[in-house]
A and B are shown apart, each in its own frame.
Chain A
Amino acid sequence: MSLVGRAVDGTGPAPRVTNDAARVRAGAERVAGTLDIAALYRRYGDMVLGRCRSLLGNDADAQEAMQEVFLQVHRQRDAFRGEASPTTYLYRAATNTCLNRMRTRRRRPEEMVAEPPAVLASDALVDQVELRQVVQRLLADEDERTVSCVVYHYLDGMTHDEAGALLGISGAAVRKRIGKFRERLGPTGPSWFREGGT
């Protein structure tokens, strides 16, 4: 799997980043072959929490989702150990957890909170409120994988290949899913969405 950054406004080649270096057991939780949830939390909790905030939009939900992610890792230790990079595993797990929560919230509108206070997480390349609105629409009509493709590509700035690597599908498949969704969305989407991406 490779993670490929994009060129800066087309002025130069994109720095190519592979995740091989991520295999360096930077944290004691992996170096010693252990699975210490506390150590994982201390090292990666900020990323997971930030991810949850950017998708869910409020701190209370984000805190709950973050705990759910680490509890899930604890329950699925074998799957976690099979991952080359805890970062990518946790990032994907946080994304899935949040999308599931958003989907559940849609089904139970009585539990929806009022428009959440803006949490300006660091992670957005696009307007987060707008993105959440798009995701809510996606959740109503699109399959889970397409939603993830849109989130990874538009919210996180991943290339199709990067998103595909996280999802276990090809970059071309990501491009196809996004393209079809854009066709269905038509001219009503936000400007950043209509512009598409690489």
Chain B
Amino acid sequence: MSGHLSTLVLHQYRYGEISGAEAVALRQHLDACPECAARLRAQEAERRAFELTPMPDALRGLDAEPGWRRFLRIGFVAPLLAAAVATLVVVPVIVGGLGDDPAADPVGGEVGTTRTKGVDLPLEVWTDGASGVRAVAEGEPLAAGQRVQLRYDPQGHEWSVLAGVDGTGAVEVFGQAEEDGATGGRHAPFSLVLDATAGPQTFVLLLSDRPLLEDELQRAVRGSEVDGVVRHAVSHRKE
């Protein structure tokens, strides 16, 4: 029993989830251990056989959930509003693709005349006020219960992350999206209802050309420099 790699580690190695020095050590182990090498080959053979079998019908019908919908579950989204927002905002995006329709109604109302094509800033906060849908001006306070939506420009990067930091300093990474080098402004396909947490609410856009690890996300959102990550943030006082 002793002296062998666990089954789970072999799977992780095969899926490419082990890298660097650890992968080197594993390869050395596999070179020296015929039993583990045979188990790995057997896993690979099972993989090949699996790829030839059709997907079960029971799993085919399960809807893919757009990643940005995660946004709706974060702490400062009022739970009761989340479902309604999901219906109003997320569903059109499923049809139209992830944020690829800048003409879409960002918060469920009429598109106001103040809307601009593209974004002047990489990250803006929009809201639906008495004068229609508009960008929240710099320095303009936000209010608890206010519904907002983020508008951002991937600026040609491959990946974007939207996140928030509330007045207590708590970080919420809402989602990471593959942008495929797209440029131009787009609304995130979700909206938010701010909770009553005191202090400023900061929204953060991270742009990169690779998917980011969780710890990288956390550090970058907090403002630490992370290699290959461009950070944009907007902060609004909350009343």
Contacts and interface: CB of A to CB of B under 8 A. Distances in A.
B67 A3 contact: no
Interface in A5-34: 5-12, 15-26, 28, 31-34
Interface stretch (A85-93, A105-113, A134-142): A85-93
Nearest to B179: A32
B59 A67 contact: yes
A26 B17 contact: yes
Contacts of A34: 64-67
A46 B40 CA distance: 13
A32 B178 contact: yes
B235 to A, nearest CB: 23
Interface in A86-129: 87-88, 91, 121-123, 125-126
Contacts of B60: 38
A121 B12 contact: no
A3 B12 contact: yes
Nearest to B14: A47
Nearest to B17: A22
A196 B159 CA distance: 48
A63 interface: yes
Nearest to B22: A17
B146 interface: no
Interface string A30-55: 01111111110111111101110000
Given A5-B26, A71-B59, A158-B8, A21 B18 contact: yes
B73 A5 contact: no
A143 interface: no
B29 A38 contact: no
Given A31-B176, A71-B58, A87-B15, A125 B1 contact: yes
Contacts of A18: 22
A16 B184 CA distance: 45
Interface string A55-66: 000000001001
A197 interface: yes
A123 B70 contact: no
B177 A19 contact: no
B68 interface: yes
Contacts of B7: 51, 123, 125, 155-158
A135 B1 CA distance: 17
B44 to A, nearest CB: 8
Nearest to A95: B8
Nearest to A198: B2
A3 B2 contact: no
B103 interface: no
A87 to B, nearest CB: 5
B214 interface: yes
Contact of B55 (A42, A156, A166): A42
Residue of A25, A51, A67 with most chain B CB atoms under a 10 A cut-off? A25
A78 interface: yes
Contacts of A25: 176, 211
A91 to B, nearest CB: 5
Nearest to A17: B22
A21 B12 CA distance: 9
Given A36-B65, A154-B1, A198-B2, 4 more contacts: A11-B32, A32-B178, A33-B67, A87-B11
Interface of B: 1-9, 11-12, 15-20, 22-23, 25-26, 28-29, 32-33, 39-43, 45-47, 49-51, 55-56, 58-60, 62, 64-68, 70, 73, 98, 159, 174-178, 211, 213-215
